A and B are shown apart, each in its own frame.
Chain A
């Protein structure tokens, strides 16, 4: 046996392991959510526009929706707002806003000024719901299935590319339209 065979084999094995690691590593700085594939944490929170009716996860069961975590204090949220309006107009999946540790009046002003992409906005004053969802910075978006399962999470401002490549293909309507 060639005396270089063993070191070579070790080297090749190392290359394979690292290649797998790089290929499977998520986007740099993005932490995989342990919630993917699990039931979305339940919530029932005050509604920004309708004080009489709470926004509750159990009322959303049976429908797909995107839970978008935002706040008026969040600069990146402004960056994704245009995209959210486009998504609303495309009617592929409703957006539910989770206004994270925010001021209600400011939130209303924001939506009046920039347009309201949300079907409903839940007010998370305490931040408890955001913590349940493992949110560590706004904006974050969760795609939740009709079964109430977290299917996909995106950290950072949504872009058209993320919307068409990651969100839409996961929707059952899209799959049906394709086949």
Chain B
């Protein structure tokens, strides 16, 4: 009898714990629910790519601070007004600057940020090409007077 009560107790405790886990979603930082699933998806995407200006390495979606809650509310209201994702981003940038975007837009100010890797790659390719061509020319120059002896090796230096 005593044992059965113990089993019953553990079952109850386990059920309670499962219940807590299931409601965890509602306990998350941001319990906002928008009326339709597509808006909700856009809301989640936007709040995950906007920075919490107060904590700076967290997204609006993840941050528990007051300001993030205010800005999430703004995102929700703008979406409910029928604004596009770009309009929401522009609204945020007009107030907080490019820094609020975790994925900065391409603009004259951020051009280097986006172009630098490509430019570095091109410079690297150009340097490689020059070195390779230089060595090939060396091989060609050496092999020319020799005639049909086939490829010449060890012509460096």
Contact = CB atoms under 8 A, between A and B. Distances in A.
Nearest to A127: B70
Contacts of A34: 93-98
B96 A136 contact: yes
A18 interface: no
B95 A31 contact: no
Interface string A19-46: 0000000000001111100000000000
A154 interface: no
**B interface, over-half SS:** helix
Nearest to B112: A17
B152 interface: no
Q: How large is the interface on B (under 10, 10 to 19, 20 to 34, 35 or more residues)?
A: 10 to 19
Contacts of B139: none
A126 B67 CA distance: 11
Given A131-B71, A131-B74, A136-B67, A31 B96 contact: yes
Interface string A128-146: 1001111011000000000
Given A31-B99, A101-B66, A127-B70, A136 B54 contact: yes
**A interface, over-half SS:** loop
Contacts of B39: none
Given A34-B93, A34-B95, 20 more contacts: A10-B123, A31-B99, A32-B97, A34-B94, A34-B98, A35-B95, A101-B66, A126-B70, A127-B66, A127-B67, A127-B70, A131-B71, A131-B74, A132-B95, A133-B95, A134-B53, A134-B97, A136-B53, A136-B96, A137-B67
18 contacts: A10-B123, A31-B53, A31-B96, A32-B97, A34-B93, A34-B96, A35-B95, A101-B66, A126-B70, A131-B70, A131-B71, A131-B74, A131-B95, A133-B95, A134-B97, A136-B53, A136-B96, A137-B54
Interface of B: 53-54, 66-67, 70-71, 74, 93-99, 123
